Amino acid sequence: LRGSHSFTAISTYPTKTVAMNQPTETQQRAIAYAVKPLAFLSFLSGSYVIFHLLARRCDKLKRMYHRIILAMNMCVVPYAIADFVGTWAMLKGTPYRLGAAGNQTTCDVQGFFKVIVFIAVPYYYSSLSVYSCFAVRNSFKEENYRYIEKWIHLGALFVTFPFATYSLKTEFINPGVTVCFSEEFPKGCALDPDIPCERGGDTFILLQIYGLISMAITFVIPPVALLFLRHSIKRASPDEQMSLGKKKVIESYRKKALKELTAQSALYLFSLWITHIVGYMSYGYELATGVFSYDITIVGNCLASFQGVILLFVYFWLEGKKRTVVCDPPKDEAGSHQFNFSNAKLTVADVQERAKHYIKSSTVPSTSSRFSFHIFDGEVDESSPWAK
């Protein structure tokens, strides 16, 4: 986290000194301009999702999933704006930063909002995994888990505004690599008694806490929540009083649902991690080698700036996909008994109802039942076998 927004020539950690060579002319141009087109595309993407939900399909906002998506994209837009402005907001004359034409006020404004949205975007995306656990386990009956929505938004405020406000009050917002961010000035002055701090102060521990929170939100909570959901579906037991036919139908549904959960979870996690992991790699490289890499940091910042486009793709891909998974009807030991299902989309309740009319005939043509499974925006199904 520190490495991705580092600025001055030396950064001293408690156990080692990190050498930060100044950027070359090529790197300076990349710092100033590489992020801008990606941030602009991200701005357009976030704005389109907001327009889609508020103007074209406001009916979607009846569901919590789409309201979380709306809140996330309302954070994507200022994230993209801050990145597009980039070095323009830095104090005029800031060394090694092309285009620096602002003052301390413009730097403070940019840094304040960037500190907030830097963690707010992955926070909301991460919250979708927690939401999914509640939604699937409650068969998407939103009235049973609507109470978590207020805590999701309160959590977003809790993990962003206190640190941003503290940074602003303590003069801890200063030029970073591509934008103003939480940095002491000069870099490393908080840990080196021989370097007096002109702005900021002893905030090393606080910054590390902020970084750990960001890492937990991005890399720990989403996979843990989705693994818990997978475990819940895998371990769910059908009613002992069910007929053998019903149990076979549910078991076939379970296999297809787990397959869909794996595919959708993989896409969800990949889209979240691909935009942030390089930034953390930059920090890890700095700690491991003692050398700050502008190249890795620039790539990481570019990927993070592009996240609005990736999130838009994932949102509409999952919306359009809501694909049908096929559940082959069970047979008896002789393999001759089959269900006569249509190709319509069915819920588990429909499948169970049709299982009551199990037809013992070897002359009935073989068909398949179809139903959809969505880990975020599924259909209400009160008879779901993995509902708690």
pLDDT digits (tens, 9 = 90+) for 121-173: 999 999 999 999 898 888 888 999 999 999 999 999 999 999 999 899 888 89
Determine contact, residues 230/261, Cβ cutoff 8 Å.
yes
Determine contact, residues 126/220, Cβ cutoff 8 Å.
no
Cα–Cα distance, 166 to 182 (Å, whole number): 10
Query: pLDDT tens, 99-123?
Result: 999 999 999 999 999 999 999 999 9
Cα–Cα distance, 114 to 120 (Å, whole number): 10
Give me the residues paired with residue 371 across strands: 325
DSSP letter for 372, please. E
Which residue has 């043509």 as its token pair? 365
Which amino acid, 7? F
369-372 vs 324-327, strand pairing mode: antiparallel
> So what's the pLDDT on residue 189?
65
Determine contact, residues 146/138, Cβ cutoff 8 Å.
no
DSSP letter for 328, please. P
Cα–Cα distance, 379 to 374 (Å, whole number): 8
Which amino acid, 379? E
Domains of the chain, first to last: 25-236+243-321 (1.20.1070.10)
> Comparing C-alpha atoms, which of 120, 32, 135 is closest to residue 75?
120
pLDDT confidence bin for 283, thresholds 50/70/90: confident
Q: How many residues does the chain have?
A: 388
| In the predicted structure, residue 371 carries a pLDDT above the cut 60 | no
Which residue has 């979240």 as its token pair? 272
| In the predicted structure, residue 330 carries a pLDDT above the cut 50 | no
Q: Which two tokens stand for residue 21?
A: 């060579």
Q: Which two tokens stand for residue 300?
A: 């990481």
Which amino acid, 73? N
**Which three-class secondary structure state does DSSP give residue 243?**
coil
Cα–Cα distance, 150 to 64 (Å, whole number): 11
Which amino acid, 303? L
Which residue has 């649902």 as its token pair? 257
